[in-house]
């Protein structure tokens, strides 16, 4: 009987840690994955050790915000279709109009190579025969990826980016999926608006660090987005093959 107070204290301590301290500590340590420096390196190291024994929660990607994606009508009068080889010059032009000071130097070469070898990953949005936007999606080993969501500067802030994002997301016609995007600093906020969360960094050839963000897409949410797209008069693009890669 004399051991009960100590046992109760231990039980309360464990409950308090898991209910309050565990998520706080985990959130602080996870910040190391989106920062640089010695402190960030320490945070990552400690997180990797503690998550193995469940002393901190794992990184969990939030669900895509269907509410925000469907909060306003989609723009009308555009065509969304698969990218064709003859679209490459227009897509490269849109890239270059967006690129100055925004993307690492090597990215244009990677984009050109992707367009040359594209196996159905890229979509374009056009109006009256003019391509105004392009962007791709990829699916490999159960993980999805978005890449090169580019809008002609003269047609930005008109809802075309949301149309392009939605058209790419509905192509992931599979089970619950984690979708990543290797972004840049001045673009990642757009995706965070719709539920994406920064969880890592990628490095360009010059050593620059850039954000990686992600979101989870449940089949039910995918269907809601597909229905919204169809109701707006846009055919749902064909699903991605299981092994579609970005180039």
Predicted pLDDT of residue 245 = 55
Residue 23, domain extent:
4-51
How many Cα atoms within 13 Å fall on the side-chain side of residue 106? Answer: 6
Same domain, 157 and 109: yes
In a domain, 237, yes or no: no
**161-195 b/e with 16+ CB inside 10 Å = b?**
bbbbbbbbbbbbbeeebebbbbbeeebbeebbebb
In a domain, 93, yes or no: yes
Same domain, 217 and 165: yes
Same domain, 101 and 223: yes
pLDDT average per 10 residues of sequence, the chain (247 residues): 69 75 88 90 92 89 96 96 94 91 87 88 95 93 90 94 97 86 91 95 90 94 96 94 60
Which of 182, 178, 185, 216 lies closest to 200, judged by CA? 182
Same domain, 84 and 180: yes
Same domain, 71 and 151: yes
pTM score, whole prediction: 0.86
Q: What is the CATH number of the domain that holds 165?
A: 3.40.630.30
Predicted pLDDT of residue 214 = 95
Predicted pLDDT of residue 125 = 98
d(C-alpha 91, C-alpha 159), whole Å: 19
Same domain, 78 and 172: yes
- Token output for 60: 């969990």
Q: How many domains does the chain have?
A: 2
Predicted pLDDT of residue 92 = 95
């Amino acid at each position: 009987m004399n051991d009960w107070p100590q046992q109760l204290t231990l039980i309360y301590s464990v409950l308090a840690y898991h209910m309050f301290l565990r998520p706080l500590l985990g959130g602080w340590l996870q910040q190391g994955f989106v920062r640089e420096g010695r402190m960030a390196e320490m945070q990552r190291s400690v997180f990797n050790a503690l998550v193995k024994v469940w002393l901190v929660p794992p990184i969990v990607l939030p669900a895509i915000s269907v509410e925000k994606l469907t909060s306003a009508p989609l723009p009308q009068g555009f065509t969304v279709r698969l990218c064709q080889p003859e679209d490459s010059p227009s897509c490269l032009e849109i890239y270059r109009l967006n690129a100055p000071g925004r993307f690492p130097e090597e990215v244009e070469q990677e984009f050109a190579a992707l367009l040359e070898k594209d196996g159905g990953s890229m979509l374009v949005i056009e109006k009256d025969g003019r391509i105004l936007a392009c962007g791709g999606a990829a699916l490999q080993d159960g993980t999805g990826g978005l890449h090169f969501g580019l809008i002609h500067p003269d047609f930005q802030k008109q809802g075309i980016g949301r149309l392009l994002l939605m058209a790419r997301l509905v192509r992931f016609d599979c089970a619950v999926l984690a979708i990543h995007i290797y972004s840049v600093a001045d673009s990642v906020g757009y995706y965070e608006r719709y539920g994406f969360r920064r969880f890592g960094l990628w490095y360009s050839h010059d050593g620059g660090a850039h954000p990686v963000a992600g979101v989870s897409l449940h089949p039910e949410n995918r269907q809601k987005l597909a229905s919204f797209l169809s109701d707006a008069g846009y055919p749902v693009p064909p699903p991605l093959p299981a092994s579609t890669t970005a180039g």
